[in-house]
Structure 1
Amino acid sequence: MAAEARPGGSLEVISVSDMAKVDPFGAGSNYYLDSSRLNAMYDSLFYSEPKTGKALPQTAESLTADATAQVWTLKVKPDIKFTDGTAYDAAAVKWTWDEHKNPDRRSLVAGAAAAIDRTEVVDPLTLKITLKAPNAAFDRVVASSLAFIPSPSAMQKDPNGFAAKPVGAGPFVLSQWDRDSQMVFTKNPNYWQGPDLPKLDKVIFRVLSDSEQSLNSIAAGRGDLKVSVSATDPAKARDRGLGVQQAPVIVGEAIVFNANKPPFDDPRARKAVALALDPNEINKVAFANQGVPSSSLFPAGSPLVAPDAPPLPTADRVEAQRLLDELAAEGKPLNFTYLLPQNNQATRTGEYIATQLRGFKNITVATEAQAIVTYTNSTRVQRNYQAAMMNWLVSDMEPTAYSYLYSSSPSNFLGFKNPQADAALDQGRRTADPAARQAAYTELARQVAQDVPLWPYQEGRITVYYGKTVAGLLLSNDGVVLMDRLGRRA
């Protein structure tokens, strides 16, 4: 947005759910729901440039690789302090990344941190990082999943207190939290960028789960902006005269299958569901033809895969029924619960999908909607689900797609295990050459089409829509709004 933000004032952001946790381990730091609030509290080492996905420094000075891309050097900007007065430095980054790897933390981005073999504080502002294997895109890993650094001393001194009053070095401080209602952030008077930033004196994140109410609130001036993944919100927002920014992302909306639990430990069951459904029909009925139907991990025209990369199986009712009959003949008729995040669009889409599946023989489908905090815990932490609807929205294959799909990754909540896919993910990680990355991810697409660990049906778009008085808005590719520059029009 070109408009300059004036200093002062407040702004209200609408969010579909509250945060489960405010520390970077239990919050969704690579997920659009939590990332803007985390940025407000902690700022970001790096963030993704919206148009290119390139990692740009914020609290970091630089992050550079040696010739092997296995050893990286991080430089932190000088004179940054946490709000408890302690130093934001290389030691704080080391402690945070070590804790992401600590299985007792159950970090939601443990898969990203698992790539780190060891770290060494060279001097107060320099951290040497040795990876387990070369990764030419490690700076993107940091921007996406390892960017938020809390005060180690505050977390260690009073973990319970930190859960209510987090200590970071961000542009804002959490001053009030009414659970499941709102979070109020006030300007950090000692922010490292000086007294002119952040622009705002206060930001309120208000919880409103209904997408129509959210749109109506902002159109009526009772809210200022919302980050959304709904396929129908952009057109509706434009019709109401609101501003819209969008970022295309990988995967989009999909059914994810738990390969560690019956019935989807059998790849025939996963393939039967995929073949029974048609992305074009889902788009027509559930999204009023306002979305972009898909049957691929990658958006159309993505440079990450060859144009002839195979899509996932879809829309073959005869073959779907044959597989269902084959499973039933073996005493395994398909019976499962489809887990949904609790909002009106997800419910409509999920019920339509379930209704389509119920039209086949030898299949029984129930739906269950859970509040988003509970749903995230069920899928990504406890992994207590059979199939689930998921908006999987990432700006690059690194690190999230790698950590969700790699066999031994602690973040692989799908239970997907495929040696050829692992080899393709490793190859894509090792190289910065576009042609080599494309070859690797084309092979990955081939393996995913064969095994169907998930079934995308709607291309991903992260959207932010906003009122006309909002200025200084920058939407990073993974859905984070950079809070230091956000404000009102001058």
Structure 2
Amino acid sequence: MPVSNRPLHAIFAIFILLSLTLSACQPGQGGTSAPPPAPAATQTPSPAYTPTPLPPRTLNVCLGAAPNTLYPLGGPNAAARSVLEAVYDGPFDALGYDYKPVILEKMPNLEDGSVQLASVSVTNGNEVADADGTLTILKAGTRVRPAGCRSDECAVVFDGINPLAMDAMTVMFKLKSGLLWSDGTPVTAEDSAYAFTLAKNEETPGSKFIFDRTQSYEAVDDQTLQWWGKPGFIDPTYFVNFWTPLPKHVWGQLSASELQKSELSSRAPMGYGPYVVKEWNDDSLRLTKNPYYFRAAEGLPKFDELIFRIVPNAEAAMANLINGRCDLIDSTVNLDAQTSLLKEMDRTGQARAYFGQTPTLEWLALGISPASYDDGVQAKDRPDFFADPRLRQAIAYCLDRQAIVSNVLYGLVDVPDSFAASASPLHAASLQAYPFDPEKGKQLLNNMGWRDHDNNPATPRHALGVDRVVNGTELNLTYIATSAAQRRQVADILSQSLIGCGIGVNVVHLSQLEFYAEGPAGPLFGRNFDLAEFAMHTPSVLPACERFTSSEVPSAANHWVGTNVSGYKNPEYDAACSSARQSLPSEASHAENYRLAQAIFVQDLPAIPLFFRIETAAARFDFCNFALDPTAASDLYNIEAFDYGDACLP
């Protein structure tokens, strides 16, 4: 093990032992006394004792890939985001479905006046967010929500003549005092306004959703910024409309396009966080402690040097953990196949294993409305299997999702009941549940007219009096998924459980290129499937109800872009989701509408939630202050406090 990894108590023990050994060899320490030496005419004083300095403490973190860039606005990959947590702290952390300020004095809120809803007058030609939250130019016939309105019930149609009052949000953010860049220059509000300007630039990759809905974002003074939204845009996550400061005094002479490629920004960006990038080699990055870090007085960070090692696979990462070259393996390394080993190592005290639920949810979408139905259901089209929601419910009862959780995911997560995680404060209680109950599924199928004509559950049922389906039609469904190993396992379990209910299943595994191809040719976004398994990530602490709204159905009209690949449309669901997303967390309607949307969803079941994906990390046995959080942007959100050694042991 490298000297820098040796516990302090071992270093002190060696030092004490060496001191005792040397002192035992000194004359006059026991045994026969020697005659005293003759006094010298002049005695030279001994030099003062200088203790041997301890070697610098080093933290080694193993990554599963090389960063693609360290420019925060360059579309950093997961490995890059891990490194950037060491360079930039915050500006806030999403933890436990809430936000905690890091470089801000507080999270802004309505109660203390740092957030306000101003009534502004709008008229013809003004850009506003309409009643559905879509940006539009106000004109006669535009449906909008006037000032104070948070639901469709109070929306009005603009007459094109009389000015209308609408709400516009203003949010004030205040930086903590004493923030410094790693060159000692103060971090100011102007640095955040500069970051906003760069991020908004068309040369900078990323969504422009929030920029399109921002009236202005500007520095009020050295520590304060104000965000002002466009009329009608009510943002429930207003408190994150703050842009991480970037060093204008260093990068200001470069264009947004140049910053994408410059080594100054993409390989060694200046930050204000706990560490500073010093070297970037093919297989590692070396960072050192930032002496200007704003929490340095707290003894943070805990290490003098931080090494990110890039490992080719999980096996190499585990070998490095065992031999001491990795103190922590973050979840950019795919440790799924090491789960059993890690659980045993954790049980026996050889390592610490961390398992957590991610905000990525695996779905089985049901092809309610294929694209071929867009011009009406024709005789040549696929049978309208899913028109009756009872078939969707029967499928849910016939899916052994618990077997997936138990056998594929090691029992580390629960079977979800909606698009909202059970730990979310916006999760609806007492939702309609669909446990694995093949008998209930068969009963629903029988009630609809799907008959087991030959008393053989291994053969598909036939239609007899099924609404909108020709008698004699087999209940035979095609199940598409990518060819990833885990998806093969899941498809095997689910197809067998469906067959047990008399639902025929033909599993087809496609390459990612084929599966995710653009519509209309691609099966998923072209809405040409019966059953499709895929994952969707939720980028916010808010439940992603919008994924299943009518406006998200991919079609020729929107160039086949959208997440509602089932083709599901329900105006009541749309209204509940829209009202939830256009209300504020402090308003009762916010939670009420999110929960109403979930209740409608689980009755209609356009898609069946299978499981939240898990993430895995591992560390040396004496590691501490690390935890996985389903809403955190990175596993390393707390990297300044990571530690190991005696301070971490009970």
1:45 partner amino acid:
P
1: CA distance, partners of 2:369 / 2:183: 44
Q: CA deviation at 1:75?
A: 0.9
Q: CA deviation at 1:72?
A: 0.9
1: CA distance, partners of 2:243 / 2:469: 45
Residue deviations 1:420-446, cap 9 Å, x none? 555444544423248644322222324
Q: Choose from 126, 133, 143 the match for 2:224.
A: 126
Residue 490 (structure 2) aligns with: 353
Q: CA deviation at 1:350?
A: 1.1
Q: Choose from 59, 79, 90 the match for 2:189.
A: 90
Preserved CA contact (<8 Å) 1:258 1:414 = no
2: CA distance, partners of 1:86 / 1:264: 62
Residue 59 (structure 1) aligns with: 103
Unpaired runs of 5+ residues, structure 1, are 341-346
Q: Choose from 56, 67, 73 the match for 1:25.
A: 73
Change (3 A) 1:127 1:467: same
2: CA distance, partners of 1:251 / 1:323: 36
Preserved CA contact (<8 Å) 1:86 1:151 = no
Matched, 1:165 2:318: no
Residue 91 (structure 2) aligns with: 45
Change (3 A) 1:393 1:215: farther
Preserved CA contact (<8 Å) 2:368 2:386 = no
Q: CA deviation at 1:129?
A: 1.0
SS class of match (1:243): strand
User: Mean alpha-carbon deviation: is it higher for 36-45 or for 292-301?
Assistant: 292-301
1: CA distance, partners of 2:590 / 2:462: 34
Residue deviations 1:222-272, cap 9 Å, x none? 312234497847745523523355665656444689999979999959969
Q: CA deviation at 1:194?
A: 4.0
Q: CA deviation at 1:177?
A: 3.4
Q: CA deviation at 1:312?
A: 7.7
2:65 partner amino acid:
S
Change (3 A) 1:197 1:362: closer
1:12 partner amino acid:
N
1: CA distance, partners of 2:580 / 2:191: 30
Residue 185 (structure 1) aligns with: 287
Preserved CA contact (<8 Å) 1:90 1:127 = yes
SS class of match (1:440): helix
> Percent identity, aligned pairs only?
21
Change (3 A) 1:439 1:204: same
Residue deviations 1:174-196, cap 9 Å, x none? 333345x4433333344344474
1:238 partner amino acid:
D
Q: CA deviation at 1:128?
A: 0.7
Residue 174 (structure 2) aligns with: 75
Change (3 A) 1:177 1:302: same
Change (3 A) 1:119 1:177: same
Change (3 A) 1:21 1:63: same
SS class of match (2:426): coil
Cα RMSD for the two superposed structures: 5.0
1:42 partner amino acid:
Y
Residue deviations 1:187-232, cap 9 Å, x none? 3344344474322222233344644654554355331223449784
Preserved CA contact (<8 Å) 1:43 1:171 = yes
Unpaired runs of 5+ residues, structure 2, are 1-7, 9-53, 110-114, 118-167, 375-383, 451-459, 526-531, 553-557
* Structure 1 segment 214-229 matched on structure 2, within 5 A: 214-215=317-318, 217-228=320-331
2: CA distance, partners of 1:36 / 1:366: 33
Residue 175 (structure 1) aligns with: 278
Preserved CA contact (<8 Å) 2:364 2:534 = yes
Higher RCO structure, 1 or 2 (CA under 8 Å, sep 6+) = 1
1: CA distance, partners of 2:364 / 2:574: 21
2:293 partner amino acid:
Y
Q: Which is higher, the Rg of structure 1 or of structure 2?
A: 2
Matched residue pairs, number? 459
* Structure 1 segment 158-307 matched on structure 2, within 5 A: 158-161=259-262, 162-178=265-281, 181-194=283-296, 196-208=299-311, 210-211=313-314, 214-215=317-318, 217-228=320-331, 232=339, 235-236=343-344, 238-241=346-349, 242-244=351-353, 250=359, 252-254=361-363, 268=386, 277-300=399-422, 302-307=424-429
Residue 43 (structure 2) aligns with: none
Preserved CA contact (<8 Å) 1:256 1:390 = no
2: CA distance, partners of 1:40 / 1:384: 41
2: CA distance, partners of 1:443 / 1:339: 33
Change (3 A) 1:244 1:337: same
